């Protein structure tokens, strides 16, 4: 006697084949992959692509900040050859080219707005929020005598008010 395999359709039957354990495992794997990819969702601003395009065309971009915030927010394996224009104690002025600015903005975005590891580093958020509006104001056709785009991240206490 020949036994009919479990989950196999009957001969001359229009019944659909039942799901086999292999199909269940494959469905489970696809479901897990989709869930994990949703966890890696970032909150990258919608303007980021436009910012990167503008940044790519910049000849020079200056950032003034403390050396420790620069070291904390720059990519580990990149931007080691950025020009240091000025040092004033712990405050440095760095000059980046367009491609360096693109690398830096992309890295800041991942660390400020989350990535696979869900990072939301306060230093990266602060630096990204200082640089983004300046990059947004960059024109592809600058007027003659335009100045170099510059960001200064040197927060200080506000002067006390005369009424307080």
Dump pLDDT digits (tens) for 83-138. 999 999 999 999 999 999 999 999 999 999 886 666 788 999 999 999 999 999 99
pTM of the model: 0.69
Domain ranges in the chain?
48-152
Dump pLDDT digits (tens) for 125-147. 999 999 999 999 998 777 777 78
Closest CA to 146 of 61, 85, 65, 63: 61
Residue 50 has pLDDT above 60, yes or no: yes
pLDDT at 87: 94
Query: If you compute the radius of gyration of the chain from its CA atoms, what whole number of angstroms results?
Result: 27
Cα–Cα distance between 54 and 137 in angstroms, integer? 9
């Amino acid at each position: 006697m020949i036994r009919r395999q479990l989950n196999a359709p009957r001969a001359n039957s229009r019944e659909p084949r039942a799901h086999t354990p292999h199909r269940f495992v494959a469905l489970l794997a696809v479901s897990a992959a989709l869930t994990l990819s949703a966890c890696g969702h970032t909150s990258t601003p919608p303007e980021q692509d436009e910012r990167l395009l503008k940044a790519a065309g910049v000849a020079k971009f200056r950032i003034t900040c403390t050396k420790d915030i620069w070291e904390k927010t720059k990519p580990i394996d990149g931007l080691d050859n950025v020009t240091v224009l000025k040092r004033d104690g712990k405050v440095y002025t760095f000059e980046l080219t367009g491609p360096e600015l693109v690398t830096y903005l992309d890295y800041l975005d991942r660390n400020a707005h989350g990535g696979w590891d869900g990072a939301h580093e306060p230093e990266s958020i602060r630096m990204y929020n200082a640089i983004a509006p300046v990059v947004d104001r960059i024109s592809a056709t600058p007027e003659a005598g335009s100045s170099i785009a510059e960001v200064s991240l040197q927060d200080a206490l506000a002067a006390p008010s005369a009424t307080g």
